[in-house]
A and B are shown apart, each in its own frame.
Chain A
Amino acid sequence: MKLKKFIALLLALVLALSVAACNPGSTTTSNEPSGTASTEPGGNEERTSISKIENFEPGTHGLDWRDYTLADEQVLDILLTFPSTTNLDPNDSTASNQWELFQMVGEGLFRVYGNPDGTQTMEPAGCESYEVSDDNLTYTFHLRDNKWSDGKDVTSADYAYSIRRLLDPEEAFGYAEYFWVLKNADAYYHGEGGFTVDDLGIETPDDKTLVLTLEQPTPYFIEEMGMVPIYPIRQDVLEAAPDEETWQTDYTYHVFNGPFVITDRVMDNSITLNPNPYYWDAENVKLTQVNLLTVSEQATQALMFENGELDVLDGSAEFVDRWQDAANNGDFIMAVFGRPQTGMIYFNEYDHEPGVPGEENIPADRPRGGASGLMLSEKCRLAISLSIDRQAFLDTVYNRYTVAGGFIPKGMECNGINFRETYPDDYITKLQAQYDTPEKLRALFEEGMAEAGVSGTVSDVTLILMNTSSSSLAASQVEFVQQNIQDVLGVTVQLKNVDSSVGRTESQKGAWDMMMYSWIGDYNDPGTFTFLYTSNSGYYTTFGGFNDEEYDHWHEVAMNSTDPQERADAFHKAEEILVTKAGVAPIYYGDQIVFTQTNVRNVNWPQVNPVEISRAFIVADDAQ
């Protein structure tokens, strides 16, 4: 009998353990918000309390280490996502872990710091100052005296070489298109007009001056100057390596011009950084060592953070519930930062318009207005958009993030104007007040049906919501939306799940009405969002396609004007058209939850760049 009891006990243990094992860390791709659904009652109210970050010193930048008692050991342990960075080519940096590493070992014209309010600050770094010509076409950068880690000067030629290489069409670098705004670059890249690399608008009058000339005034151009893909590259070092590939992957063939240099790397395990003695601001680089650790298992990450083996942890909501109390007790610091991310539902509005980019990939028999034939109707789309209870969606699916009433997320700045603070995002709430009952929304939807020439009532309609992600998070998103639309509008919503690898093809075939996606901005300007829905955007066919001449017009105005106020107004008009005509249905703005140990200072999260730690330092325990 005793033995049986023992076995029963063991089996129970096994079961319990297996259940625990069913919840391993969710793997997420760069474009998919990380996080998990939590249905814990009351969790949401508590969550709000941690988003107060007025006193979040470690999250700021520019604290002077001289004002603190420093700890004897200045070592920072921080994560680097798997797979660890094999590619050390700034031009070929497309993944966030590559950017994270290069911000530590490289220095571009500017360095980007994050502010606790979700905005970011770009400070001159590789350059000391710059001027813009009166016609807004010529940017002259005056370089700072800085040295590479082999003691040689950083010159304007290093910057020019890097930008020219980035624009080499043979290399097909992902970020090339951001710099087609340079004079002749677009034509050169596409092999038109017989331009050579020497015709590009890149000049180096002397070793300390870099002059970039644009094709036409580009107000957001300066925001791109902090991007990793144009960090300077030493041509002689690259050419001294046995071949380009070896240079790209082997750090020993590199010299660095940033605050740190790579001194050791164990592939997929760790990268060790030590200060670069030649760095221009070496006296303010206090860390003597940075350990970039690759830890994929989230439970292990959590254990290491609790042990103090990690100083900084960002990116996941998994730990929020677990560490709520510890954070409130001051054992460590947890904070929520803004993130330039908007989650949305987009509609199948593509209408075989000739000449739009990507048209050649669309089958000729793609249905107009989606599977239901209704998605070209503004009224039907608007009824769907207004039917979504966004707060309930967030409470059910994420238990974090904020409701999006507009398309452009918080923190985005238009040449210094904080867009969201200037223009409230009350489009949706205003319209929801107007259509405040399911009956009114159904009537609106049926009006749209009549206009589209579809007979019947809402109960005759089936809408297809396509989902191309296999994550449980995506599943709970689409299930919520399905239920929500069905309940309010009385239509049938069918889920269509396809594997992510065939998502693009299925999307092009067009047998769907709605899909969900979240977009993360690439640079600090509302244009990084509004351009998605212009009819000449490379994404036009990817995200449903919203064709509106007035929208295109206002986007054009914003992108060609150099007056910040005029630009912001134009972005606002474009956004208003997109949201009120339901070109998309914005649902939520993303955020970022970060954790640090209490003795860490000057670690901050810029809006579009990864974590910035170059001026971080550790304060002594008794001096906190």
Chain B
Amino acid sequence: MLKYTIERFLAMILTLFIIATATFFLLQAVPGDPLVAKTERLSAEQRDRMYAKYGLDKPVMERYLITMKGFLVGDFGESITFPGQTVWTIAHEKLPISARLGIQQMLLGITAGLALGIVAAMKKGSWPDYLVITLSILLISVPNLVFGLMLQYLFAGGVWKIFPTIGWPEGSELWTGGWEYTILPTLTGCFGYIASYARLLKTSMLDVINQDYIMTAESKGLSQRKIIFRHVLRNSFIPVLTNLPMSVVMCVTGSFFVERIFSVPGIGMYYTTAVQGRDLAVVLGWTVLIAAMMIIVIYITDILYTLVDPRIRLRGGKR
């Protein structure tokens, strides 16, 4: 077990290194650099000075070494598009905002999604089932942007003025206050979760219902209710649990459209702007950070799996 854990850990470090290197060179290969827009109106001479100021006149390999050295000590470099901002200051300021939004969306979305999934599976072939499936298709195909604008128009002024149009709680209210600001953005973003978790759970439940042990339970004369809650549900949750860690990571990374519509000062819009502006330091640093979070979650999940489900262990023999 220890050997397995260590091996996985080393693999994780290697993966991170490869991701950082690949991202760096991919970003170099993409035409353009962060100073294009900033120096557009400057004369050739001033432009050269700017490039020298940000070290962008150095050869690629030298910049790669500087970047990698920085990573080792946790220094991701400074933004060029947003002077004075580093990956850490951005994360510090914006991650909590995106995280609260993401967590609220996820809690609401997954709860509703699972409930609808159960209904659909239990009423298979009847109208509630069709309704849930149709809704899932609808919710998953309509872009966030449209839902956001629609909700905003309906409930923030266009028809009824119930919620504020834009904004986000800050300061002491960062995590627990200012609910009225968070309702529309949360609703907008939770539809995706509802749709995917409803379908996931329904499929998984139908799969379990067809297993032999359910037939055994039925033939023993257990009530439908008991079968569903005691036997079907418990066994249907494995695929849901597999998806969950990914959702948790994704939910803190921000949502561009929701943040844009409701002017939520989160990380989604920042990252998109950084990519558009070829803000190398921010794009690279943030990509590596997200990759690291993903890999760590996968690592923990994998380790836990080996504890939960012996079939997943890679090699035979005693551990």
List residues of A whose CB falls within 8 A of some B CB.
3, 6-7, 10, 13-14, 17-18, 20-21, 24, 29-31, 82-83, 86-87, 92, 94, 169, 171-172, 174, 176-177, 245-246, 248-249, 266-270, 293-297, 299-300, 303-304, 306-307, 309, 357-358, 361, 499-502, 504, 522, 537-539, 541-542
User: Chain B contacts of A297 at CB under 8 A?
Assistant: 149, 260-261, 263
Number of A-B contacts (CB under 8 A): 157
Q: Which of B82, B150, B270 has the most CB atoms of chain A within a 10 A radius of its CB?
A: B82
- Contact assessment for A268 and B270 in the assembled complex, using a CB-CB cutoff below 8 Å: yes
User: Chain A contacts of B143 at CB under 8 A?
Assistant: 18, 21
- Using known A-B contacts A92-B83, A174-B38, A249-B84, determine if residue A10 contacts B165 with beta carbons closer than 8 Å: no
Partner of A357 from B45, B82, B85, B264 at Cβ < 8 Å? B45
- Contact assessment for B166 and A14 in the assembled complex, using a CB-CB cutoff below 8 Å: no
- Cβ of B37 under 8 Å from chain A: yes
User: Chain A contacts of B196 at CB under 8 A?
Assistant: none
- For this complex, 10 residue pairs linking A to B, each with C-beta atoms less than 8 Å apart, are A24-B145, A29-B40, A94-B38, A177-B43, A293-B166, A297-B149, A303-B158, A499-B32, A501-B278, A538-B42
Q: Which of B31, B262, B270, B278 has the most CB atoms of chain A within a 10 A radius of its CB?
A: B31
| Minimal Cβ-Cβ distance residue in A for B156 | A303
Q: How far is the CA of A541 from the CA of B83 in the complex (A)?
A: 29
- Contact assessment for A172 and B50 in the assembled complex, using a CB-CB cutoff below 8 Å: yes
User: Chain A contacts of B22 at CB under 8 A?
Assistant: none
User: Chain B contacts of A504 at CB under 8 A?
Assistant: 36
Q: How far is the CA of A94 from the CA of B43 in the complex (A)?
A: 14
- Cβ of B141 under 8 Å from chain A: yes
Interface residues of B in 13-34 (CB under 8 A from A): 30-33
- Contact assessment for A14 and B263 in the assembled complex, using a CB-CB cutoff below 8 Å: no
**Nearest 4 A/B pairs, CB to CB:** A501-B32, A538-B43, A249-B84, A358-B44
Q: How far is the CA of A499 from the CA of B265 in the complex (A)?
A: 29
- Contact assessment for A306 and B269 in the assembled complex, using a CB-CB cutoff below 8 Å: no
Q: How far is the CA of A31 from the CA of B94 in the complex (A)?
A: 29
- Contact assessment for B42 and A174 in the assembled complex, using a CB-CB cutoff below 8 Å: yes
Partner of A307 from B40, B44, B150, B165 at Cβ < 8 Å? B165
- Cβ of B142 under 8 Å from chain A: yes
- Contact assessment for A172 and B52 in the assembled complex, using a CB-CB cutoff below 8 Å: yes
User: Chain B contacts of A6 at CB under 8 A?
Assistant: 134
- Using known A-B contacts A3-B130, A174-B50, A357-B44, determine if residue A18 contacts B146 with beta carbons closer than 8 Å: yes
- Cβ of B153 under 8 Å from chain A: yes
- Contact assessment for B270 and A269 in the assembled complex, using a CB-CB cutoff below 8 Å: no
- Contact assessment for A21 and B146 in the assembled complex, using a CB-CB cutoff below 8 Å: yes
- Using known A-B contacts A303-B157, A304-B165, A504-B36, determine if residue A177 contacts B46 with beta carbons closer than 8 Å: yes
Q: Which of B38, B130, B167, B265 has the most CB atoms of chain A within a 10 A radius of its CB?
A: B265
User: Chain A contacts of B149 at CB under 8 A?
Assistant: 297, 299-300
Partner of B44 from A14, A499, A500, A538 at Cβ < 8 Å? A538
Partner of A248 from B83, B150, B166 at Cβ < 8 Å? B83
User: Chain B contacts of A177 at CB under 8 A?
Assistant: 42-43, 45-46
Please, what's the 1-or-0 string for B125-150, where 1 marks a CB less than 8 Å from any CB in chain A?
Answer: 00100100010001001110110011
Q: How far is the CA of A541 from the CA of B47 in the complex (A)?
A: 14
- Contact assessment for B46 and A86 in the assembled complex, using a CB-CB cutoff below 8 Å: no
CB distance from A75 to the nearest CB of B (A): 15
Q: How far is the CA of A357 from the CA of B44 in the complex (A)?
A: 7
Q: How far is the CA of A30 from the CA of B42 in the complex (A)?
A: 14
- Cβ of B204 under 8 Å from chain A: no
- Cβ of B220 under 8 Å from chain A: no
